[in-house]
Chain A
Amino acid sequence: MLAYMARRLAVSIPTLLLISMMVFSLQLLLPGDPALAIAGEERSPEVLAAIREMYHLNDPVPVQYWHWLTGVLSGDMGQSIRSRMPVTELIMTKLPVTLQLATMAMIIALAIGIPAGIVSAVRKGTAWDVGANVVALSGISIPNFWLGIMLIMLVSVQWGLLPASGYASPLEDLSRNLQTMIMPAFVLGTGIAAIMMRHTRSAMLSSLRADYVRTARAKGLSERVVVLRHALRNALIPVVTLGTLQLGELLSGAVLTEQIFTIPGFGKLVVDAVFNRDYAVVQGVVLFTGTAFILMNLLADMLYFLLNPRLRA
């Protein structure tokens, strides 16, 4: 077990190095001089020279990379060029915001997708089924940004029920936090809800045709018990797997949703950093995400390892 873990970890390190090198070189391919992007209107040659000096932009690329890498190894991911905040601090303050958004969106997706899937499977071929399918199809097809703007117009401007955008920390003001997060979470969740609904429906349809359901019905159990206790339990297994796969999807969807609703999360951090050519932040975020993905994969592998004795041989 320990040897296996060690081997896996050893493989992760070159992967991470490779990712960081790729991101470093990709950034250099981006058109636009970072010094110019930083200077904005104050782009006199004198200011540009000072900026290049300050952020080591004059050094050869491998030297810049080496500066960054040695920093990371000693636990320092550098400073944001724009705000002068340490990159680690930026990531740590933005990440919980996005995680909350993703979690709420997932809850909404499950709360809508699974019941809708059950109803349309049980009432297959009826108006309920067709209706649910149409709604699901629209959920997949309607772009987030459009739905977001429409909701803002309706819920905030017309009805005045929720703030149109913004964010409050749950630790400071939980009610305000939920007010600002519910609409973006809904927008982000609907797309996933539609996918959930489609999968719940097909899994339910196949379980409803299974022998054990026929047996349950033959036993004289009520339709409610047959559907919820026998069919649904088995149908949920692939749906749950799918749900975890959709988490990645949620994080990338958050990028756009955070832009629309001006939520200061991880997605907004990355987008703004790319536009401002804030290399240190882009580097840090990619490295962080890469590490997180590798660790998650490692964790999953270990779980398989624990659960499946045949792998240990």
Chain B
Amino acid sequence: MTFKPWHAGLLAAGLLTLVASGATAQTLRVGLQEDPDLLDPDLARSFVGRIVFAGLCDKLVDLGPDLEFVPQLAMEWSWSADNKALTMKLRQGATFHDGEPFNAEAVKFNIERSLNLPGSTRRSEIAAVTSVDVVDPYTVRLNLSQPFAPLLAALSDRAGMMISPKAAREAGQDFSRNPVCSGPYKLTERVAQDRIVLEKFPQHWNAAAYPIQKVIYLPIPDTTVRLANLQSGGLDIIERTAPADLPTVRSDSSLKLEQATSLGYQGITLNLANGPKSETPLGKDPKVREAFELALDRTIINQVGFEGEHTVGNQPVAPSNPYYDKNAPVPERDLERAKKLMAEAGHGRVKVELMAPNSPDNLRVAEVIQALAGEAGFDVSVNATEFASGLDRQTRGDFEAFLIGWSGRADPDGNIHNFISCKGGLNDGKYCDAEVDQHLNAARTTTDTAARKAEYAKAADLYLAARQRIYLYHQNWFWAMTSKLKGFKPHPDGMIRLENVSLGK
């Protein structure tokens, strides 16, 4: 604090001896927003964990940049005529990190583990699977109780990640501490809250496509500190760069930016029928809900909340998604009509309690909503709550409106069915329309994309008009990285795929 010239000299001398050479060129250091939870695909629960899995565990099917399914451990697949069986031809020559071979028996073991492991978070995603037949050593058939098109999307995520049956049997519940998969990298070290270190697995079937030798994932929750680490050379790539930091990244010639629109959505969940808190004009009167939506200006919300860097939207999937219903475009703000509807509804000024997670950007969004809706006759009170408490209140029905989103799934079913169908496990507002359910179920039973789109469009006509949720925007993933990093391909699922990624000079 009392800084004298000799202090500076001492500091400089000390620093010179301290500053060691940077990491070698083949080591990639990745800045994550959180520390992942359990590294067991069947027990994992966090988005951030999937980023690590992308290097650690190969899946049966992978997802391309345009959301198309591409082969990974399964080379090809086909549905039976009645859509009740999925047959997959498997890759030959793939090996698990412990040297065990990957084959049809391993797939059978993995699917059965996902279905039966106590506490499995995958069971609900593939619950339609009743049995797995080993047709030959490299062919499996998944038999379903009923047609279930979203299965392929589930197999392109954690349910499709293959772990070594031998290692899993030996480790039991402790598998997550030493996961053995078949991905291009294997786990060498994990220090909780500090780092996860992966090293290249030379026996991987596609090892030549992975020039990086070592990957270190470092959880750094503060976005400013994460970016500072990238700028100072302590990291090579960071995920979820904050929109407010993007001008810094763009103006720094040693950095570059990649982005993709996420599979998820952000919006307001409304309580339509979950307990006494739904007994409000907003919960019970569709006209009031319509007025509320018309009072909002999504572009302004995006601008104030996120410097205009996210993508505005009005459906469970983003406008760029193949399943977006183009006949229901993002509505413009219409204050006059909103006021007219409010007058017709005849409730006078309507009080709305908007619950919002207590992060600065969410609260900014909530305040914009408060101001915009205020002009149409709503008195919005913003109730900032800590995230876990908010989820709890939402599940119990202790909310009127909740500003919350969903990280998204590759298949639209993962963004819609569980949230909107009458018995959906995440339908916290308890919206229920039997006709919507029919369309959503029909979309599950056919594998024909055009037919599915038609069913989703019919459902959307109904649930968008009912305004069980007001979808506001879709987050964009922003990856900031050193300009030396080559070969990174942005994907809508937010993962960092390491194929062909390298560090130049």
Please list the residues of chain A having a beta carbon within 8 angstroms of any beta carbon in chain B: 30-33, 36-47, 50-51, 53-54, 80, 82-85, 90, 93, 112, 115-116, 119, 131-132, 135-136, 138-139, 149, 152-153, 156-157, 160-167, 173, 175-176, 178-179, 182, 190, 193-194, 197, 259-262, 264, 268-269, 272, 275-277
When the two chains form the complex, which single residue of B20, B124, B176, B234 contacts A165, counting CB atoms closer than 8 Å? B234
- Contact flag A149-B224 (CB < 8 Å), given A160-B233, A165-B229: yes
Q: Give A50 to B359 CA distance when docked, in angstroms.
A: 30
Contact between A164 and B229, CB atoms less than 8 A apart: yes
In the complex formed, the residue of A with least CB distance to B396 is A33
Contact between A32 and B174, CB atoms less than 8 A apart: no
Contact between A182 and B391, CB atoms less than 8 A apart: no
Contact between A153 and B20, CB atoms less than 8 A apart: no
B445 to chain A, nearest CB (A): 21
When the two chains form the complex, which single residue of B35, B37, B120, B173 contacts A50, counting CB atoms closer than 8 Å? B120
Contact between A275 and B388, CB atoms less than 8 A apart: yes
B494 to chain A, nearest CB (A): 13
Q: Give A194 to B1 CA distance when docked, in angstroms.
A: 8
Residues of chain B lying within 8 A (CB to CB) of residue A42: 45, 121
Q: Give A84 to B190 CA distance when docked, in angstroms.
A: 13
SS of A interface (majority): helix
Which of B123, B192, B221, B393 has its CB near the most chain A CB atoms (within 10 A)?
A: B192
Contact between B121 and A37, CB atoms less than 8 A apart: no
Contact between A260 and B388, CB atoms less than 8 A apart: no
Contact between A36 and B225, CB atoms less than 8 A apart: no
Please list the residues of chain B having a beta carbon within 8 angstroms of any beta carbon in chain A: 1-2, 14-15, 17-20, 35, 37-38, 45-47, 118-121, 123-124, 173-174, 176-177, 191-194, 218-222, 224-225, 228-229, 231-234, 385-386, 388-389, 391-393, 395, 406-407, 418, 425-426
In the complex formed, the residue of A with least CB distance to B20 is A175
Q: Give A82 to B34 CA distance when docked, in angstroms.
A: 12
A106 to chain B, nearest CB (A): 15
When the two chains form the complex, which single residue of A32, A160, A163 contacts B389, counting CB atoms closer than 8 Å? A32
Residues of chain A lying within 8 A (CB to CB) of residue B118: 50, 53-54
When the two chains form the complex, which single residue of A43, A50, A82, A116 contacts B395, counting CB atoms closer than 8 Å? A43
When the two chains form the complex, which single residue of B1, B120, B391 contacts A112, counting CB atoms closer than 8 Å? B1
A15 to chain B, nearest CB (A): 30
Q: Give A276 to B391 CA distance when docked, in angstroms.
A: 13
Please name 20 pairs of A and B residues whose Cβ atoms are closer than 8 Å in the assembled complex, sorted by A.
A36-B395, A37-B388, A41-B45, A43-B426, A44-B418, A47-B123, A54-B118, A80-B192, A90-B192, A112-B1, A116-B1, A156-B231, A162-B232, A175-B17, A176-B20, A182-B18, A193-B1, A194-B1, A262-B218, A262-B221
Residues of chain A lying within 8 A (CB to CB) of residue B425: 43-46
Residues of chain B lying within 8 A (CB to CB) of residue A175: 17-18, 20
Contact between B192 and A40, CB atoms less than 8 A apart: no
Contact between A165 and B225, CB atoms less than 8 A apart: yes
Q: Give A273 to B17 CA distance when docked, in angstroms.
A: 37
Contact between B121 and A47, CB atoms less than 8 A apart: yes
Residues of chain B lying within 8 A (CB to CB) of residue A197: 1
Residues of chain B lying within 8 A (CB to CB) of residue A268: 193
- Contact flag A156-B18 (CB < 8 Å), given A40-B45, A41-B47, A46-B123: no
Residues of chain B lying within 8 A (CB to CB) of residue A115: 2
A262 to chain B, nearest CB (A): 5
In the complex formed, the residue of A with least CB distance to B124 is A44
Contact between A31 and B392, CB atoms less than 8 A apart: yes
Q: Give A263 to B301 CA distance when docked, in angstroms.
A: 35
Q: Give A38 to B174 CA distance when docked, in angstroms.
A: 17
- 9 A-B pairs besides A33-B395, A160-B232, A164-B229 with CB distance below 8 A are A31-B386, A37-B388, A40-B46, A45-B425, A51-B119, A156-B232, A162-B15, A164-B225, A166-B194
Residues of chain B lying within 8 A (CB to CB) of residue A264: 191-194
Residues of chain A lying within 8 A (CB to CB) of residue B220: 165-166, 262
Contact between B391 and A37, CB atoms less than 8 A apart: yes
Q: Give A165 to B174 CA distance when docked, in angstroms.
A: 30
Residues of chain A lying within 8 A (CB to CB) of residue B224: 149, 152
When the two chains form the complex, which single residue of A46, A83, A153, A176 contacts B37, counting CB atoms closer than 8 Å? A83
Q: Give A182 to B19 CA distance when docked, in angstroms.
A: 12
When the two chains form the complex, which single residue of B2, B20, B47, B119 contacts A119, counting CB atoms closer than 8 Å? B2
The 7 closest A-B CB pairs, nearest first, are A44-B425, A264-B194, A32-B388, A31-B389, A156-B232, A37-B388, A164-B228
A136 to chain B, nearest CB (A): 7
A80 to chain B, nearest CB (A): 8
Q: Give A263 to B124 CA distance when docked, in angstroms.
A: 37
In the complex formed, the residue of A with least CB distance to B47 is A41
B416 to chain A, nearest CB (A): 15
When the two chains form the complex, which single residue of A46, A136, A163 contacts B234, counting CB atoms closer than 8 Å? A163
Contact between A179 and B19, CB atoms less than 8 A apart: yes
Contact between B192 and A85, CB atoms less than 8 A apart: yes
Contact between B391 and A32, CB atoms less than 8 A apart: yes
Contact between B193 and A269, CB atoms less than 8 A apart: yes
Contact between B38 and A156, CB atoms less than 8 A apart: no
- Contact flag A46-B176 (CB < 8 Å), given A178-B18, A193-B1: no
B424 to chain A, nearest CB (A): 9
Residues of chain A lying within 8 A (CB to CB) of residue B393: 31
In the complex formed, the residue of A with least CB distance to B121 is A42
Contact between B392 and A33, CB atoms less than 8 A apart: yes
- Contact flag A272-B193 (CB < 8 Å), given A136-B1, A152-B225, A152-B228: yes
